[in-house]
Chains A and B, each alone.
Chain A
Amino acid sequence: MTETSETTDSILAPIIAHYGGDPGNLLQILRDAQEALDWLSPETQGAVARRLDIPVTRVAAVVRFYTHLYDTPRGKYRVLFSHNITDRMAGSPALMAHMLKRLKLKRGVVSDDGLVSVGKTSCTGMCDQGPALLVNNRAITRLTPRRIDEICDLIRARAPLANWPAHYFRVEDNIERADMLLGSAYAPGEALRAAIACGPTGMMAEMRKSNLRGRGGAGFTTAVKWEACRDAKGDERYIVCNADEGEPGTFKDRVLMQSFSERVFEGMAIAGYVTGARKGFVYLRGEYSYLRAPLEAKLSEMRRNRLLGMSICGVPGFDFDIVIHMGAGAYVCGEETALIESLEGKPGLPRIRPPFPVICGYNNQPTVVNNVETLCKVTEVAIHGGLAYAGTGTRQSAGTKIISVSGDVERPGLYEYPFGVRVSQVLDDAGAYDAVAVQISGAAGQCLTPQEFGRRIAFEDVPTSGSFMVFGNTRDLFEAALNYSHFFEHESCGFCTPCRVGTALVARIMEKIHSGHGARYEFNELTRLHQLISTSSHCGLGATATNALQDIMTKFPTVFDRRLIKRDFEPGFDLDAALARAREVSNRDDANAHLAEGVDA
C-alpha cells in the first residue's frame, strides 16, 4: 500500500465526508479533489480508493475516462480552447497559436514552472460568442488577440481567477427570436399549482393530449416515457434532467439553465408528481460549471418557497428535491444510459438496452431522463393544458422549438419558432446571406444543401435537437468533416469495436486526404467504414458518428473531389519525413538518404 501524505488525506477527508463516503459519488469526489489538488496523482487515487473501500482500478477507470480529470500534473492554469468548427471558423487556431507563442509553450505540455498548460477541448457550447476557451473550467468568450495577451499577462502574474476582469466570464443569452418559452413571463409555482389542480392522473392525461416529444434528439413522446416509469416496478423512481449538451453547435440548454432554470426545476417536480419520483438529478456538463452556484442558489430559493422539498405547495406527500451532478468532459454522457452510469460515479459507458431507463435506470430503479428544453415545455403543458399546447406546431411535432444558430450568420444566438418553420426562414432571420450548407443537430446530425433549405424543422421532416451551424460560401466543408472526425475519435467511449477503432480509422483517413495523399481508394474506404460503424455500433454515438461525413461526401461531391488528387493509392505519410530520424542519428544528408513522394521518377 502506498502511503498518503497527511496533507492529501486532510484534503480528501472532508470531501469524501461531504459526499457521505458513497462510491456512487466517485466522479463528484474526484472533481472536488482535483479542484483542491490540481491533479489526481496515483497517490490521491489510491487514497480515494482506500477511503471508499473500492478497487483502485475503479478510481483509475473514472479518472482516465473523463477528459477534464487529470492523472498527470497540470498547470495551475489549465487553458483549453474550444475545438468546435464554429470556434475554428471564428479564428481560434490562430489565437491558440498566439497564446502558445506568447507563453513559449507546446500544446498540451505543462510549462517548466508548472504554471500553465494550453490545449484543446470539444465544443464548449459558446458557439454564438466564440471563439471561446476554458480556464480551470471557467468559460471565457469573444476572444481576440488582445484579450489573449491580457490573459497571458494575468497568468504570468499568477493572478487568482477571482481577480480577473468579470466581463471576461460574461456569457450572453443572445435570444434573437422568442416565442412560447423564451418569450413568456415566469410566475413562480404557476405550473406546479396547475399540475396539482389536475392531480397526477389528470396531469398525465394532459401530457398525453399535448403530444409533447423529447427535445434531446430522439423525439420520444414524453407521456409514454413517464407512464412507463410510473407503471414500472421499483422502490424509488428518479427524474433526471439531461443538461449535458455536448452536441457541437448546441447551446440552448445553457441559456435555459442560466435564465430559465426555475421552469426546468418545476418541470422536474411535475414529472416527479406524475410518476411518483421523489428525487431528481440535474446532470450538468462540466463546461457549464459556472452555472452551478447560481443554480444551487435557485434551488434553495425554491425550497424556501415550498416549490421543492417536502409537501410541495402544501400538498402532503408531494415531496421532491433536486441534486446537481457535474460532468467532466465526455460527450457520450449525454446518451441517457451513459449519463446514468456517470450519475452512479462510473465511466460513462452506455448500457445494454433493453432494459430502458424507465424500467431499470439509476440504481436499477425506474428513471425518466428528459432534456432541459423538454422539461421547460412541461410547464407550458401544465399551464395551458395539453390541447392548447398541441395547437401550435405541426401534427406530429407540437409546440415550439429553440434552435441554436451559429457560424456564418450576422446574428448568432437562440431562435424559437413553432415547429414546421422552414430552414430558409431561420437563415433569413439570423442573417445568413451566403449560406452554402447548414449542419443540423451538431456533428451527429445531417448537413443540408441550399436545395434543401425549403424543408421544415419538425420530426416528420428535418428533426433536430436544436442547432444550426451555418457555412458561408468561403468555407471548405472538408474542414468541417475533418473536425467532426476528430470529435468522434476523441469522444468514442471505446466500449465497442466498430466505434472505438472505426472512428480512429476514419480520422486517419481524413487526415491522409487532408495532407494531400488521398485517392479514390480513401473515399471508398470512408463509405465502407460508415456502413459498418453506423449499423453495428453499441449506442447512438457510433450510429451517428459518420452521418455528417457521409452527407458531405454524397451531397457535396466537389468537397472531396478537389482533395482526392492522387491517381493511385499512396502512403498516408511523407516517406522522406519517415527517414528523418535515421538521417539525423547517422548524420547523413546525401542523395541516397532521401525518398521522393509518390511514385519514383
Chain B
Amino acid sequence: MSNGTRKLLQGNASCVHGALYAGMRFFAGYPITPSTEIAEVSSRELPRVGGKFIQMEDEIGSIAAIIGASIAGSKVMTGTSGPGYSLMVENIGYAYMSETPVVVVNVQRGGPSTGLPTKVSQSDTQQARWGPHGDYTAIAIAPSTVEDTLTETIRAFNLAERFRTPVTVLLDEVIGHSRAMVKIPEEGEYEIINRVKATSSPEEFEAFEMTPNLISPMPAYGEGYRYNVSGLTHDTHGFPTNRADEIPIKLNKLRDKIMNYVDEITKLRVEFMDDADIAIISYGSVSRTALQAASIARQAGFKVGCIQLCTIWPFPEKEIKALCENCSKIIVGELNMGQIVEEVRKVISDDKEIHTLQRYDSEILTPMQMLEKLEEVL
C-alpha cells in the first residue's frame, strides 16, 4: 500500500492507512459512529499485511486487548468516539502506568453521554488530557484535514513508541467523514520510530529502569525477559510498591520522560503571524475555517494570523506565548464551550484581549462567522 499513489479516501480510512504505514499490526475495536469505518477498514486491510483485527465485546475490552498485544510486541491502535473513549479511560490509565505504547483515535461527536452521534464536535479536548484518574502527562494530537490525518497518525505511532505512552488522536466527525485525494506515502518517505528493545541480559534487565532519557527498553513477552507489568504503582523492577521513596520516582518519570522532550512533541502550523496584530488560535477542522477567514482578512488589509495546534497536549505554552507577543488580540475558535481558551488564558498576559468563537450546536464554524468575529473585535 505504501507506493506513492493517490487515493480518494475518507478521513477515517486515511487514519488507517497512516497506521498501516507506521507499522500497525493489531487493531481491536467496537463499532461506534462516527469512527466505525476505522474498524471496518482495519478489518479489511490488516489480514492483507499479516496483521490482526478483532472486534471486541466493548471498548473496555478493545483497549485491554491492544495493551496486551502491544506488550506482546505489536504496534497497536483502537478507534472510537466519546462514549467509547469514556469506557476506555480506566485502561488508558493502565497504559500510562505500565508505559505501554498505544494509539487511541477519538472521532469526536457532541456530548455528554450518547450526545450527537453523527454531528461534529471538539468537546473531548480536555478529556484527552484528563480522561483517566491520577497524575500523568498526556500526548494528544489533532489533524485538520483528511490528508493530514494520514501523516499525523504516523506521528501518533512514532510518539507512542518513542515515549512508551498512550497517544490520543482527536479527529472529529467532519474530518472522519470527509473524502479527499490522499497521497499514500512511499516506503522510506516518513521516518518510522519503534520502541527501544532491551540489549542487556535477562539477569541484568530492570523492566522500568531509570535510563538517562527516562525511556526504559521494552522487550516483548516471549523474548526471555519475563518481567512483571502492573497497574499498581511499582518500583523500577515492576513490582508493586507502597514506599514513599519509590512512588515519586515512578510518577516523576511519567511526567519528565515527556516534558523533558516536549520540543519533540510540540507541533504548530503558523500562517501570517510575522506582523499579525490579531491571532486566531484553533485546532482540528476549525483551523481550515480560520485559515480561510484570515486569508480574506489579509486581502482586505487586516493583520490577521493563524496558529494551528497540531499537538494539543502537552499544550504548547512557550510557543503560544512567543508567537502572540506582538499581538494585541487573540481569538480562540473551537467546537465546544471553551476547552482550549482556558489554556490560552493561563499563558497570555492580561494586557491582551482574548476573544472566543465557540459553536456547540452540532454545526461547523464557517469562515463567515470567523470574519464577523474579526469585524467585531477589530
A and B co-occur in one complex: no
Name B's A-contacting residues (CB within 8 A). none
